[in-house]
Structure 1
Amino acid sequence: MDDQCRVLAAALETLGDVFYVYDADGRLAYWNARLNELFGLTDSELSGTDPTEFFVADDRPAVEAAIEEVFDSGQATVEARAETTEGVVTFELSGRLLTADDGTVQGFSGVGRDITDRREREWHLKRQNERLTEFADLLAHDLRTPLAVTSGHLELAARELSPDRIEAARDGLGRLEAIIDDMRTATKEGTLAADKRTINIADVATTAWAHVETDSAVLEPPPSVLVEADAKRLLRLFENVFANAVTHGPERDERASGEERDGDATGITVRVVPTPDGFAVEDDGRGIDPDDREWVFEPGASRAADGTGFGLYIVRTIAEAHGWTVRATAGEHDGARFEFDVDADTAC
């Protein structure tokens, strides 16, 4: 064995993962010491072992199918559980075909990675999200019952009381309904985004703008930016960001006292711009005080008279459900800017 082979062999022995090589007949031919440790077997006991022998009976068919896929297509990945000296371990198993220079199949090699903790965290997160959704649904149900009763009494009382007082009470009930709806949305959108596909944010942003009461605000034509995202959730994200810009933009008298642009003293302009890490949405409104830029994402943060305080909280939960981050900064024209950092593998 030359020096390079010795270094390679030594490096494989330092791996925390299992490394293995199977011959053309699907029998174990080479492995590192991690395999011995996990299964408490000697080299002679491991030599020639069939791949499925290591795994629980329920997972063996999936392992067999993955091996067939390696020989058919050249590579495969599968998850399987095994009883080991460290308890039941869930492995992510990879396999790549090994061929000689003349194309003769010599077997396959791969790595078995312990993903037990990761899968357990994902399971607990899923259960937590399910419980949170159940709680929100229960709370919404319990709140809507007295709201319905109160609304009925208001209709009867409207015949005797001041119309202004009745309308104020109706507004209050309407605000409670909006809070309930946003609360349920926040819990649902906070779950992991599983239905992902390649989406052009220009299309989603344009559709979202049409769904929002924008008054005299203007959306500049959005650029083409591709992301891997859940279409419905991304639409909701843009709707909420746009609604925030319009709701918290300058009032007519505020805009009129400032710089006149293009003869329109009342509307704000909203832009979607690509960034090195994803995209951003910014406006030229009144902006966000630097001291409030983290606070605005908290539930109940709205200072608008008709706001529920869940708008930007929902934006953050949707972003985090995709594995993204969002932060509030100052825009090019001193308005609000929301920057979305997307995983490098999902933006192009």
Structure 2
Amino acid sequence: MSTIAKHDDIDVLHVDDDPAFGDLVATFLERHDDIVVHGETDPEVALERLDAVDCVVSDFDMPETDGLTLLRRVRDRHPELPFVLFTGKGNEEIASEAIAAGVSGYLQKGGGSERYELLVNRIRTVVSEARANERAREATERLQEVYERTTDGVIAVDREWRYTYANARAEEILGAASAELLGTEVWSAFPGLVGTRFETELRRAMETGEEVSFDAYFDPLGTHFAVRAFPGDDGLSIYVRDVTDEERTREKLAAERRLLDAALDAIDDVFYVLNGSGERLVRWNDRLAALTGRTDVELASTPVTELFVPADRTDVTRTIERVLDGEDVSGVARFDTPDDPRLYEFRTVPLHDESGELVGVCGIGRDVTTQREREAHLERVETIVEALGDPVYTTDAVGKLTYVNDAFVEATGYDFETALGADAAALLKTEEGREAAFSAIRRARETDSPERFEFDLQTADGDAIPCEDHLSLLPTDADFRGTAGVIRDISRRKDREATLRRQRDQLDKFAAVVSHDLRNPLSVALGHVQLALETESSERLDTAEDALERMDRMVDELLLLARTGAVVNDPEPVTIDAVARDAWAVTDTGDATLSLDDGLPAVSADPSRLAGLFENLFRNSVEHGSTGNRTAAQSGEAIERSSTSSRPETDDAVEHGSTNGRSQIDSATDHPPASSQTAPRSADRVEVRVGVLENGAGRGFFVEDDGPGFGSSVDDPDGLFDPGVSTATDGTGYGLTIVRDVAEAHGWTVTATAGDDGGARFEFRVRTDS
């Protein structure tokens, strides 16, 4: 920390072992507004307070130490801190030692106030001198910092031509350390200066007191110097700058200017310089003369606007006027050439001299006739590409996307910033798609013809879209520089193909039925009719009638099966609850009962086809359950709901209508409902349940019964969905096939499994609306 305070007040540290005398000194000194006294009786403590004061006033004779010892210790820590001895014990010997030790003042104590006034004056004097010295040191240090940072060499010599200062740059230029130079005479250190312009100019500055500035080459150092010398009372301040590189640069510039003139004449672009009015050419290259077919004399005398076709001359004039107003202007104009006019793109700028005065106009023109024709062609191509409506792209030789159109962005979900520069195969294709693309590129390179391949386009949203890529190689004289492609969404085509495959499969099934399944009952019927004719037995006709009825049912179900295979194109929101009720009402279910869980989902489906699904499931439960084929002439219905969806625990709960969270529909006609009670359930009638399916495999619903289930005769429950498979002796084997086809037409999955009570259970996982 500086020992000099940064404010007008003077902080004085008074050290005296007599506290009473210390108080007296403080009283006298602090009568002055600028004096602040800090008293201390312990010299050791006083030494720790030196950083916060501007002056130390100390007694000489103290028990622990004396004033001179304290002075030496202060000087060890703060050499410049003012120190005044104020003591009652004084003699010439003490005064001499104090002065030798560097005391700032020496006063003897006295009884009168004038002694304290002398002390105040002495304190002010020594502090003022210390502050002035500190400011001088700081100024000198700042000046030396400036000198050290400057790129010029700075040298100071006294009037005897001895070096008194040299900065680091001067040491570098002169090749000598400052320590070697200081105190040495200039002409002795560098005798090569004698007799040169350096000596002449520097002596003139010293003698006349006038500043001198000159450039000269100093051969001993092989350096060209720019020198400025400033006289002063103490000698000269000399600033030296090595301009050897600048001189060489000037020489190079002259050579480069000659080279530039030759280069301007060699380029294909037009170069020109106009005069200050912008009307005439003052400099041009050979290309302008060759293009216009005019000689140099003609170009110098022809107004510049006449070099262009008449239709463009007004625009050229306006461009020149803008440049003369200080603008940098770009524009196009057509030169009036001996052949067809050529379109040139110009960049024209104003020219100023060193003072900023406008002296002319300079510019360069490039032939863009072919470029503009190509740009117009590209614009037409881009318009056609955008009008296609299909995603279009190009890639470079390593497969990075270099162009995509708006349709590409819309189809993929990737914006231009993400797509451009990305690896096309990694961004858009699966592993199979990438292999298909690489194979197509290999074939295209082998055959030099476009290729077509199919792949699943991976969008930014994670969707996979079946697409077809029409791929071609980019034209090039090199081996390979990339591809261009048009992507087409073939989802509809794939759907049509799938539909056609399903229809073909159905035709195959129908052919099999006609050739086998219908032939068997038809043969039975014909055989028994023939026997009836021969034997005149009516029993044979009953058997034939049963076979014909079976054939009738098969025909009806085959017709329904033919309608279930198509995709559902116009689904609508429906609730499982409502469709199941309607299907139960129109199905011959005997004395079976139906229960519906709460919270059955809404689905997007074709209501009539979904009703057919439930009708076949209900009929399957009845035909294969313990109720056999019992029928009823009339159906009754009773419904009750509660908050849970668990199954009834006892038959007593069923008989009294308690269904614990599901609706119950009783179809037994011999037990019509009365008030709030459902008909009692017999021990052998089947209960069918429609419930909510929601687990890790997906949300949906299930239909199950409490009948005998599939039994040990069925190894694979999923095989029950195959056409013609039935565990009932009189079943057609097409009901569950219809169920499966309706589910798949909606995009659902169905599986067969055992129910909670061992009966048949069919689970449907669907995309629900809620």
Name the TM-score class by shorter chain. Answer: 0.5 to 0.7
**Which residue, out of 552, 566, 571, partners 1:191?**
566
The answer to whether the aligner puts 1:176 opposite 2:551 as a matched pair is yes
The answer to whether the aligner puts 1:286 opposite 2:619 as a matched pair is no
**Which residue, out of 620, 624, 631, partners 1:244?**
620
CA–CA separation in structure 1 for the residues paired with 2:534 and 2:589: 36
Using a 3 Å threshold, how does the CA distance of structure 1 residues 288 and 46 change in structure 2: closer, same or farther? farther
1:301 Cα deviation from its structure 2 partner: 1.1
Aligned residue for 1:100? Answer: none
Answer yes or no: is the 8 Å Cα contact 1:285–1:335 preserved in 2.
yes
1:136 Cα deviation from its structure 2 partner: 7.3
The answer to whether the aligner puts 1:336 opposite 2:760 as a matched pair is yes
Cα shift readout 1:61-103 (whole Å, capped 9, x = no counterpart) = xx99xx9xxxxxxxxxxxxxxxxx65599999x9xxxxxxxxx
Using a 3 Å threshold, how does the CA distance of structure 1 residues 47 and 205 change in structure 2: closer, same or farther? same
Q: What's the TM-score once normalised by structure 1's chain length?
A: 0.60
Aligned residue for 2:687? Answer: 269
Alignment of 1:142-181 (within 5 A): 154=529, 161-181=536-556
CA–CA separation in structure 1 for the residues paired with 2:757 and 2:494: 43
Answer yes or no: is the 8 Å Cα contact 1:249–1:286 preserved in 2.
yes
1:260 Cα deviation from its structure 2 partner: 6.2
Cα shift readout 1:153-210 (whole Å, capped 9, x = no counterpart) = 9599579622221011111111122222222322320111112110111111001111
Using a 3 Å threshold, how does the CA distance of structure 1 residues 214 and 161 change in structure 2: closer, same or farther? same
Alignment of 1:1-348 (within 5 A): 45=378, 49-50=382-383, 53-55=386-388, 114=487, 116-131=489-504, 154=529, 161-221=536-596, 223=598, 224-251=600-627, 262=655, 264-276=682-694, 277-289=699-711, 291-343=715-767, 346-348=768-770
CA–CA separation in structure 1 for the residues paired with 2:743 and 2:456: 29
CA–CA separation in structure 1 for the residues paired with 2:728 and 2:740: 19
Structure 2 letter corresponding to 1:120: R
Answer yes or no: is the 8 Å Cα contact 1:140–1:184 preserved in 2.
no
CA–CA separation in structure 1 for the residues paired with 2:750 and 2:493: 27
Higher relative contact order (CA 8 A, sep 6+): 1
Structure 1: 5+ residue stretches without partners: 1-40, 58-62, 68-84, 95-111, 253-258
1:127 Cα deviation from its structure 2 partner: 2.7
1:138 Cα deviation from its structure 2 partner: 8.3
CA–CA separation in structure 2 for the residues paired with 1:195 and 1:271: 28
SS of equivalent to 1:246: helix
Identity percentage over the alignment? Answer: 36
CA–CA separation in structure 1 for the residues paired with 2:715 and 2:454: 47
CA–CA separation in structure 2 for the residues paired with 1:297 and 1:332: 21
Using a 3 Å threshold, how does the CA distance of structure 1 residues 130 and 332 change in structure 2: closer, same or farther? closer
Using a 3 Å threshold, how does the CA distance of structure 1 residues 193 and 130 change in structure 2: closer, same or farther? same
CA–CA separation in structure 2 for the residues paired with 1:221 and 1:313: 24
1:324 Cα deviation from its structure 2 partner: 0.5
SS of equivalent to 2:729: coil
CA–CA separation in structure 2 for the residues paired with 1:200 and 1:168: 43
Using a 3 Å threshold, how does the CA distance of structure 1 residues 133 and 303 change in structure 2: closer, same or farther? closer
Using a 3 Å threshold, how does the CA distance of structure 1 residues 330 and 133 change in structure 2: closer, same or farther? closer
Structure 1 letter corresponding to 2:690: V
Structure 2 letter corresponding to 1:243: R
> Which structure's CA Rg is the greater one?
2
SS of equivalent to 2:752: strand
Aligned residue for 2:108? Answer: none
SS of equivalent to 1:328: strand
SS of equivalent to 2:692: strand
Aligned residue for 1:28? Answer: none
Cα shift readout 1:87-144 (whole Å, capped 9, x = no counterpart) = 599999x9xxxxxxxxxxxxxxxxx995544333212123334555667788999979
CA–CA separation in structure 2 for the residues paired with 1:89 and 1:251: 54
SS of equivalent to 2:753: strand
1:245 Cα deviation from its structure 2 partner: 0.7
1:274 Cα deviation from its structure 2 partner: 1.2
Q: What's the TM-score once normalised by structure 2's chain length?
A: 0.29
Structure 2 letter corresponding to 1:293: P
Aligned residue for 1:3? Answer: none
Aligned residue for 1:98? Answer: none
SS of equivalent to 1:306: coil
CA–CA separation in structure 1 for the residues paired with 2:581 and 2:607: 13
Answer yes or no: is the 8 Å Cα contact 2:570–2:606 preserved in 1.
yes
Answer yes or no: is the 8 Å Cα contact 1:248–1:285 preserved in 2.
yes
Aligned residue for 2:344? Answer: none
Using a 3 Å threshold, how does the CA distance of structure 1 residues 113 and 123 change in structure 2: closer, same or farther? farther
CA–CA separation in structure 1 for the residues paired with 2:739 and 2:725: 13
CA–CA separation in structure 2 for the residues paired with 1:113 and 1:218: 59
Aligned length: 255
Using a 3 Å threshold, how does the CA distance of structure 1 residues 239 and 251 change in structure 2: closer, same or farther? closer
Using a 3 Å threshold, how does the CA distance of structure 1 residues 297 and 90 change in structure 2: closer, same or farther? closer
1:282 Cα deviation from its structure 2 partner: 1.0
SS of equivalent to 1:326: strand
CA–CA separation in structure 1 for the residues paired with 2:580 and 2:605: 13
SS of equivalent to 2:500: helix
1:330 Cα deviation from its structure 2 partner: 1.8
Answer yes or no: is the 8 Å Cα contact 1:319–1:326 preserved in 2.
yes
SS of equivalent to 1:212: coil
